[in-house]
Amino acid sequence: MADATNQTASRRIVVVGGSGNLGAALMRRLASEPGVSRVGISRREPSSAPPFDGAEWRSIDVSTPSATADLAETFHGADAVVHLAWKLQPSHDVPLMRATNVAGTARVLDAAALAGVPQVVVASSVGAYSPGPKHRRVDEGWPTGGLPTSHYATHKAMNERAMDAFEAAHPEVVLTRIRPGLVFQADAAQEVARLFLGPLVPHRLIGRLRTPILPLPSTVVSQVVHADDVADGIWRSIDRTAGGAFNLAAEPVMTPDVLASLLGGRTVPIRRSVVRALIWLTWKARLQPTDPGWLDIATSVPVMSTERARSVLGWEPTVSAQDALREFLDAMAHGTGHPASASLAP
């Protein structure tokens, strides 16, 4: 495996979904590496401003059947392809999301094989994991069956099976699966607010929210990581040509008590069934866009160990889980986004 210090030749990296939350962070990370040529793929090309400037851009919608040929043409000559494209909404139209999330991923993999790309990095998720323990950590060998009540988890699990098949059919390609926790950064605050809170909820008020009492089910235990740290993990996997799966998350684990402390209060346990019913009713009435599958993920997926990323990639998060979430909430309170990207724009 080669370190960056031993790499002198130029490397061409293609990022599918290069203008979104993770895409912006990865474009920023790649721009700091000498000898790296960046190609971004997005449905809507961003304007020429950091971190998107200096990269080539192609407008390709991976949900369309014609995308495979267009992707293969763009992938030709790439040293690595990173697939980040994902559709989180509209949650009431699962087939539309699946066209991007599942069929789109299959097209990226097919195009990479056609173009002879030596390494493919795919953004999976903690949401791909089957239900697991909250009191101990699991490694990348934990089953990735997802959750049947979550379209997000189901699509991630389907992609894991597609990657299994791809590895079996193309052993010559290094396939890397990145499985992060919840990914936050200031630039994505408005995008996340639009996707999960909707237009009826005052985003800036939520960002400023500091509550003495936080009612949450005790099983809402999640892991958080800053987008820049995920981008660094992706770069390290490319730089070292490291295949396999890598869990990425910062410390500490976000328990209800940790979250309540961040918001300046204390937690009060509440029955999960009550919270889920409230989410379902407001989602069904289209008062807010977050379906109850997201609560199922928060209360069911296991706590991940990041030991493999630390030992194989030399990866260490530079931003704590609390600081990543605090940065995100502050940005939401101030209406911060990234005007160069249509998806991240305030």
Question: In this predicted model, what pLDDT tens digit does every residue of 183-198 receive, in sequence order?
Answer: 999 999 999 988 998 8
The distance in angstroms from the start CA to the end CA of the chain is 41
Q: Report, as an integer, the average pLDDT of 90-99.
A: 96
Which residue segments constitute the domains of the chain, with CATH numbers given?
4-181+224-248+302-318 (3.40.50.720)
Encode pLDDT of 298-335 as tens digits. Answer: 999 999 999 999 999 999 999 999 999 999 999 988 88
Distance CA 228, CA 319 (A): 9
The single-letter code of the amino acid at 142 is: W
Q: Report, as an integer, the average pLDDT of 59-76.
A: 97
Q: Report, as an integer, the average pLDDT of 261-279.
A: 92
Neighbouring CB atoms inside 10 A of 32's CB total: 11
Per-residue pLDDT band at 5 (split at 50, 70, 90): very low
pLDDT in the model for residue 1 = 43
Reduced to 3 states (helix: H, G, I; strand: E, B; else coil), residue 331 is helix
Count Cβ atoms within 10 A of the Cβ of residue 326 and give its class: 0-12 exposed, 13-18 middle, 19 or more buried. Answer: middle
In the chain, what percentage of residues exceed pLDDT 70?
95
pTM: predicted TM-score of the whole model, two decimal places: 0.94
Backbone angles phi and psi of 104, in degrees to 5: -65, -40
Q: Say yes or no to pLDDT of 2 above 60.
A: no
Q: Say yes or no to pLDDT of 7 above 60.
A: no
Closest CA to 101 of 117, 115, 89: 89
Q: Say yes or no to pLDDT of 296 above 60.
A: yes
The residue ranking higher by pLDDT, 214 or 143, is 143
The DSSP code for 245 is E
Closest CA to 129 of 165, 91, 156: 156
Per-residue pLDDT band at 207 (split at 50, 70, 90): low
Encode pLDDT of 119-132 as tens digits. Answer: 999 999 999 999 99
Encode pLDDT of 246-261 as tens digits. Answer: 999 999 999 999 999 9
pLDDT in the model for residue 9 = 63
